[in-house]
Amino acid sequence: MKIQCLTFAKRRRNAVIATGLIAILAGALTGILFAQGVRNDAKLLQEAQDAFKPLPQDAATTEYPVSPERVSLGRKLFFDPRISVDGVGSCVKCHPPALYGADGLAKSRGVNDKLMPRNAPTVLNVGLHFKIHWDGGRENVEGQAKMALLGIGFGNPDYATAMSRVRAIPGYTELFEKAFPGEANPVTEDNWGKAIGAYERTLITPSRFDEYLGGKAGTLSAQESRGLRTFLKTGCVQCHDGSGVGGGSFEKFGVVSEYWKETRSKEIDKGRFNITKDDADLYQFKVPSLRNVAMTAPYFHDGSVNSLHEAVRIMGKVQLGVDLTDRDVDEIVAFLGSLTGKLPENFATAPVLPPAPFDANRPASAK
Ligand code: HEC
Ligand code: HEC
């Protein structure tokens, strides 16, 4: 009985020692894994900081400042439908805040319901892009806004008609004078472009990803971090980099294989080739910024793909020759979700415009 008790006590003691040892080992292992995890997280952050940059406060330059008067005028013009030939076309019609500055259509509809040749990208953060339009056909947002007056979206036959529509609305002349002080005749198509451009240069949408880049720990979930890692490792970042996570270069769509086989595009768009007629530019498009991409379906220059998962899968395949697993795609899509920012306040609400009816009969020759 006594011996048995002793043996029992011994066994108990051994068991306690063993449990203790296991606990210490497990603790040490957890510690090692934790330290490893911290090192991996730090490495991931470092790689991300090398490839991307947080968004600046605005996209102003010395040549294109964002003075409050210009921005306020540009914001009104952006929302005004009365400068188009049908009194319906406006920047906001195809770039509405409720859809994050895109219109949700595969291809936009211009005046008198004319179909546009391409999908409308968002105007958010576009002031940071190195060129404007899918094929880079516009140098900057100012030039884009000016030329839009004569495109399918507004349908004006010439700038004189367009500016006569602006002048026909009492109130605008004074606002142009304030925005462009010292100019004898400030109501011009160039100033229309500069005012709208100044407004667009303020439409910047920092997101959780910017906090992450700033070093704030815990801003990305485990799944988003894995998505970021895959985005870097697979090579998406070769093209989608910088503060816009894109928007900084032209690249061929279909590096490894023809894009239309995957997107099932009905028409084949030659991209930048249409402008330069240089074979080297065949199927080259501006690499789109992936900021807010989760909010701006459908995808690609022709809106041929509805789901972001599918767009990511296609990118892996035709740009990198990689068959991403469903899990990889889910994780990348989760990471892309961290690029959704808050709508700027001066975009989320509508401005009050100078009151006046649309003048359908404004003659082309009116000054
Ligand atoms: C009828 C629809 C429509 C209207 C109206 C319209 N847009 Fe667009 N917008 C588009 C489409 C479609 C594209 C893509 C054109 C292309 O790349 O070939 C585009 C492209 C743009 C881009 C370039 C985006 C990028 O990523 O390169 C900007 C900036 C822009 N529009 C601003 C404006 C402004 C400012 C106005 C008003 C002056 C305006 N849009 C009026 C449909 C429209
Ligand atoms: C070789 C350059 C390149 C690489 C690598 C690349 N992309 Fe792209 N990406 C582009 C170009 C160019 C487009 C525009 C294609 C078009 O519509 O004409 C694009 C478009 C996209 C779009 C659609 C955006 C929109 O608004 O319509 C998404 C999403 C995207 N890429 C994600 C990715 C992901 C994720 C990867 C990695 C798996 C990746 N890209 C790799 C160049 C690249």
Positions in the chain whose pLDDT score sits under 70: 1-10, 15-16, 363-367
| Claim to verify: residue 124 and residue 244 sit in the same structural domain | no
Residue 162 falls within a domain, yes or no? yes
Ligand nearest to the CA of 251: 2
- Check which CATH number belongs to the domain holding 286 and give it: 1.10.760.10
In the structure encoding, which two tokens stand for residue 206, read together?
């920092």
- Let me know whether 200 and 299 are in one domain: no
Per-residue pLDDT, 367 = 43
No. of helices (H) and no. of strands (E), the chain: 14, 2
Contact of 189 with 159, CB cutoff 8 Å = yes
Closest ligand 1 atom to Cα of 132: 27
Which residues lie across from 250 on neighbouring strands? 286
Show which of 158, 184, 204 is a domain's final residue.
204
- Give ligand 2 pocket residues (Cβ under 6 A): 231, 234-236, 238-240, 251, 253, 255, 285, 287-288, 290, 293, 296, 299-301, 311-312, 315-316, 319-320, 332
Question: Cα–Cα distance between 100 and 63 in angstroms, integer?
Answer: 27
Q: Quick one: how far is CA 143 from the chain centroid?
A: 20
Residues 213 and 314 in one domain: yes
> Does 239 lie in the same domain as 190?
no
131 and 224, same domain (yes or no): no
CA distance 309 to 328: 10
Q: Which are the contacts of 348, defined by CB distance < 8 A and separation ≥ 6? A: 97
Residue 298 CA, closest ligand 2 atom number: 27
Residue 210: per-residue pLDDT: 98
pLDDT in the model for residue 363? 58
User: What per-residue confidence (pLDDT) applies to 35?
Assistant: 77
> Residues of 53-69 as b/e, b for ≥16 C-beta within 10 angstroms?
eebeebbbeeebebeeb
Residues 104 and 174 in one domain: yes
pTM beyond cutoff 0.85: yes
Provide the 3-class DSSP secondary structure of residue 115. Answer: strand
| Residue 315 is assigned to a structural domain of this protein | yes
CA 13 to ligand 1 center in whole angstroms: 78
Model pLDDT, residue 74: 98
- Which of 238, 240, 272 has most ligand 2 atoms within 8 Å of its beta carbon, as the pocket-test mutant? 240
Q: Can you give the pLDDT at residue 8?
A: 62
pLDDT of residue 5: 55
Ligand 1, residues at Cβ distance < 6 Å: 78, 89, 91, 93-95, 108-110, 116, 118, 120-121, 123, 126, 129, 132-134, 141, 144-145, 148, 153, 196
Report yes or no on 39 lying in a domain.
no
Q: 64-81 pLDDT, tens per residue?
A: 999 999 999 999 999 999
Q: How high is the pLDDT of residue 366?
A: 47
* Rg of the chain over all Cα atoms, to the nearest angstrom: 28
| Cα–Cα distance measured from residue 157 to residue 161, given in angstroms and rounded to the nearest whole number | 7
